Amino acid sequence: MALKKSAGATGTAKKTAAKSTAKKAAPKKAAASTTAKTTAKKAAPKKAAGPKLSEAQGALLKKVAGHTDPAGYHAEKKPENKSLESLLKHKLVKRGKKHASGHYHYTISKAGEKHLATPASSGSSPKGS
C-alpha cells in the first residue's frame, strides 16, 4: 500500500505542476497583447479643424489682411464690428488701439493668415452648372 501512495503522490504532483505552469503562461500572453493594443491607440491624435466661416466673414478677413494701415483695419459700420468680434473669438484677428469713434482697430493674426492660405473646399463651384 505504501508504494501505491507514493506513486500516486508523484503523479498528482506532476499534474499540479503542469497546471500551474499553464496558468502562469496564459496571463503573460494576454499582457503582451494588451500592451500592443495600447501602443496602437497612441498612434496619431487628430488635429482640430479650423473654424467654419460664412462668405461675409471670409471676405472681411481678406479685407483685414489686405489693409495697409499700421494701426490696423477700422470698421465703419456696426455689422462689420460684430463680424470682427466673431473673428476675434476664433482668434483669426487681433484687436489693437481704440479709434476715436469708440471701436477698435483690427489686424490679422498668424492663425488668420493660415486660414486664408488653406483653400476653401466648399462653395467654390458655380451654382448655375
Give pLDDT, residue 6. Answer: 57
Domain that holds residue 79: 55-117
Is 110:91 a contact under the CB 8 Å cutoff? no
Taking the C-alpha atoms of residue 107 and residue 91, their distance in angstroms, rounded to an integer, is: 11
Total domains, the chain: 1
CATH number reported for the structural domain that contains residue 75 in this entry: 1.10.10
Sheet holding 93-98, edge to edge: 73-74, 104-108, 93-98
Establish if 85 belongs to a structural domain.
Answer: yes
Is 87:113 a contact under the CB 8 Å cutoff? no
Give pLDDT, residue 84. Answer: 93
Rounded average pLDDT per 10-residue block, the chain, 129 residues: 59 61 58 58 70 90 91 88 93 92 91 85 49
Establish if 80 belongs to a structural domain.
Answer: yes
**pTM of the entire predicted model:** 0.55
